[in-house]
């Protein structure tokens, strides 16, 4: 398993099938990350060493069993993310990924990581799965882009003022016949 390929847990599959049979759906609502690398199995009910769990920040249902979900992760400590779990709103571990050697990403206190995950859930009744989320993560970037725009505007204003000062200086020198 050299690629990111989550497996659906037995508990997650049971919940989705039971919901479909009742005309209901299960709600994928949280993403958890941990630092333990291993080969996952479908009977797991938790991550081996969960470090953080966040609400799904953004989600797209492509209506064919493929979902794109994202989460925004921050940490007070440094660690390599080697396991990821996708949880239903009732706390059931629906799907997970891990690898004994490969690292998915590295988290530090100095960075906020917005990580997206593509889930292909063809082994479950995808029409019985919905993804709940707390908003559009593009909104997270709005603050970042606003700060960048503000800094760029301040730089352009300073450059314009410098250019104006140079033009005025050349005019003064020209008026005195020094140019």
Distances (CA, A) of 42 to 3, 79, 126, 150: 17, 25, 18, 49
Per-residue pLDDT, 19: 92
Per-residue pLDDT, 152: 83
Per-residue pLDDT, 143: 67
Per-residue pLDDT, 150: 80
Q: Mean pLDDT per 10-residue run, the chain (179 residues)?
A: 77 94 91 96 97 89 84 92 95 95 92 83 81 63 68 85 89 87
**Taking CA 102 as the corner, what is the angle to CA 99 and CA 107, rounded to the nearest 5 degrees?**
105
Q: How many CB atoms lie within 10 A of CB 174?
A: 10
Per-residue pLDDT, 2: 45
Per-residue pLDDT, 140: 54
Per-residue pLDDT, 118: 82
């Amino acid at each position: 398993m050299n690629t990111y390929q989550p497996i659906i847990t037995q508990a997650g599959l049971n919940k989705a099938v039971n919901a479909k049979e009742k005309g209901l759906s299960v709600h994928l609502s949280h993403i958890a990350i941990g630092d333990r690398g291993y080969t996952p199995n479908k009977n797991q009910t938790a991550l081996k060493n969960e470090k953080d769990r966040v609400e799904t920040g953004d989600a797209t249902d492509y209506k064919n069993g493929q979902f794109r979900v994202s989460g925004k992760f921050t940490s007070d400590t440094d660690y390599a993310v080697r396991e990821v779990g996708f949880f239903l709103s009732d706390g059931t571990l629906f799907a997970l990924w891990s690898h004994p050697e490969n690292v998915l990403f590295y988290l530090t206190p100095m960075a906020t990581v917005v990580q997206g995950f593509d889930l292909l859930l063809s082994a479950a009744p995808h029409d019985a799965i919905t993804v709940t989320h707390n908003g559009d993560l593009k909104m997270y970037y709005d603050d970042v882009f606003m700060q960048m725009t503000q800094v760029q505007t301040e730089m352009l204003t300073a450059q314009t003022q410098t250019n104006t000062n140079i033009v005025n200086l050349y005019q003064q020198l020209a008026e005195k016949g020094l140019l």
